[in-house]
A and B are shown apart, each in its own frame.
Chain A
Amino acid sequence: MNAATVYLVDDDEAVRGGLRALLAAEGLAVQAHADAQSFLDRCPADAAGCLLLDVNMPGLSGLDLQARLRTQGITLPVIMLTGCASVPAAVQALKAGAVDFLEKPCDADRLLTVVRAALTLDRQQREQRQVRLAAQDRLAQLTAREHEILRGLTQGHANKRIAYDLGISERTVEQHRASVLRKCGVRTVAELLNVVGSAGNG
């Protein structure tokens, strides 16, 4: 995984320089871009950190970029910056998934607080995603029959009922059940339910 970086996209060179100096003084890694396209071209797919984005830019605007990120599956939390805040623009940015909306010139403490919160959020989202992917991997190893057993188990049915429903022997159910638990790396049905929950719908 890449180290957490604050990606900064603003077409104003002076603003980039100032924000970069401030973030760097706080020991944060910064990668600055003059326009949205250059950021898209160089942003790694698994970029970690957050994105500090100016709303008002030529070419691809901040709001356009936000939409583009979503379609490319980049999940960096976005903080919108604007030189002239308007309520509609703020609402639009937040609806599009921005975690915050700051008006320039913004207070340094506030900016850093918001950036840190975004970095934390990104880390948490990333960890949750890891857990989900691991759970999905495990479930993917199950055979069709084992999935049937798993469905019975998640519905809270006893071996006997599952055996009856599937028209197989209780002993066979027991064998499959052991196999499901092993493949999911758990020892109890309670733990198994956690894995199923982590994998979610996706």
Chain B
Amino acid sequence: MTQGSAIKLQALLDTAVDGIITIDEAGLIQSFNKAAERIFGYRADEVIGRNVNLLMPQPYQRDHDAYIANYLHSGQKKIIGIGREVQGLRKDGRIFPLDLAVGEARIGEQRLFTGIVRDISDRKRLEQEAHRRLQELAHVSRLNTASGLAAGLAHEVNQPLTAIISHAQACLRLLQRGELDPELFSESLQQIARQGERASGVIRRLRDFVKKGESQLAPDFLNATVRDVVWLMAHELKGHGVTLELALQDDLPRVMVDRIQIEQVLFNLIRNAMDAVAEVGAERKRIVIATRHDAATHTVNLDVRDYGPGIAEAALPRLFEPFFSTKREGLGQGLSICRTIVQAHRGELSADNAAPGARFTVTLPAPPA
């Protein structure tokens, strides 16, 4: 390479947006462009001739010479030709994430490695921020759900307690008057025992539900999740005079889901459906939840269908936008969160009109075993 063409090349490299660093077989830095200076905080003259491992944190700094030696010896490519996310070490000691692509070039007898680096701190931070937001929203949404459920669960426990107290008081009163009818007593005592078990069953189910509260991806049977959510909402549904029918396909394959988040989606969709049928006649206060396996697309689909007035055509395209709401007091958060959750599961949430009523469909991937 002539002196002139080397200068031209350096000028070209300096215009690149990405950092471009070349090293020789010994790992010593041969060139360091302007973008690399900006990314790592070193001037080119500070690093040229030095081992490239000063740009990486431990343990890579220690092991990098061995990586090169290993490649030169075996010819096995671990990173060359493949981009990957690695950590960089700035002059000021800060460790940051970067995308690294490594290429190999021969110039005459000399073998050079070219590293193209891009600082992805901003992208990572946005990703983490988005994830944190989603967690927060899901949490807020779950708290809302919990406060709605608390009333229903109180009712579920208070019913058997009412029966127990009433039977016990009836027996006491008969006893005080000396009216000892064994049949009446036996009937009341049986009821007391049975209703005690009923109350403890409610507590047990609630405890199971809360225990599953840790957020994690795990294989799950969607039908069981649906049944749990419907059970928790039974009181609320009843209170609004809404009947909910289940049309769940048996032997659905498992789906990889964060159960808590999927429950959240179901709560939201069912609540929306309840709102949708609030103003229609009693015979249309119906919600149908259906699940089915689509073997062709390797998906499990879940429909929440109501028999309300349906969704205005104008609203359909905007339904999942944040802060868009068709409800007077709606915050426009529910469906937006739902779609984000479903998409985080590599699934899709869509809506259409089923005439009468609206249908929301959750599609989740169910890869063949």
Question: What residues of chain A have their CB less than 8 Å away from a CB belonging to chain B?
Answer: 12, 14-15, 17-19, 21-22, 24-26, 56-59, 61, 83-84, 86, 103-108
Contacts and interface: CB of A to CB of B under 8 A. Distances in A.
| Interface residue SS majority, chain A | loop
B160 interface: yes
Contact of A104 (B152, B162, B169, B188): B162
B158 A22 contact: no
B154 A84 contact: yes
B159 A84 contact: no
17 contacts: A14-B194, A15-B162, A15-B163, A15-B166, A17-B191, A18-B191, A21-B187, A22-B169, A25-B170, A57-B238, A58-B238, A83-B159, A86-B151, A103-B158, A104-B155, A104-B159, A104-B161
A106 B174 CA distance: 19
Contacts of A105: 158, 161-162, 164-165
Contacts of B160: 14
Top 8 closest A-B pairs, CB basis?
A18-B166, A83-B155, A108-B169, A18-B163, A21-B170, A14-B163, A105-B161, A25-B170
A24 B174 CA distance: 10
Contacts of A59: 241, 282
Contacts of B159: 12, 14-15, 83, 104
A21 B195 contact: no
B241 A58 contact: yes
A172 to B, nearest CB: 64
Nearest to B173: A25
A26 B176 CA distance: 11
Contacts of A103: 158
Given A18-B165, A25-B173, A59-B282, A83 B241 contact: no
A22 B154 contact: no
Interface string B133-167: 00000000000000000011011101111111111
Interface residues of B, number: 33
Contacts of B241: 58-59, 61
A18 B192 CA distance: 9
Contact of B158 (A24, A26, A83): A83
Contacts of A14: 159-160, 163, 191, 194-195, 198
A86 B239 CA distance: 13
B184 interface: yes
Nearest to A109: B169
A56 B151 CA distance: 12
A57 B166 CA distance: 20
Contact of B173 (A26, A58, A61, A106): A26
A126 B305 CA distance: 50
B245 to A, nearest CB: 14
A86 B171 CA distance: 31
Contact of A56 (B164, B184, B238, B243): B238
Nearest to A59: B241
A106 B164 CA distance: 11
B189 to A, nearest CB: 11
Interface string B175-191: 00000000010011001
A104 B173 CA distance: 20
B155 A56 contact: yes
A104 B161 CA distance: 8
A12 B155 CA distance: 11
Contacts of B239: 56, 61
Contacts of B235: 56, 83
B197 to A, nearest CB: 11
B166 A108 contact: yes
A17 B238 contact: no
Contact of B167 (A17, A57, A58, A84): A17
Contacts of A61: 239, 241
A58 B243 CA distance: 9
Interface string B116-127: 000000000000
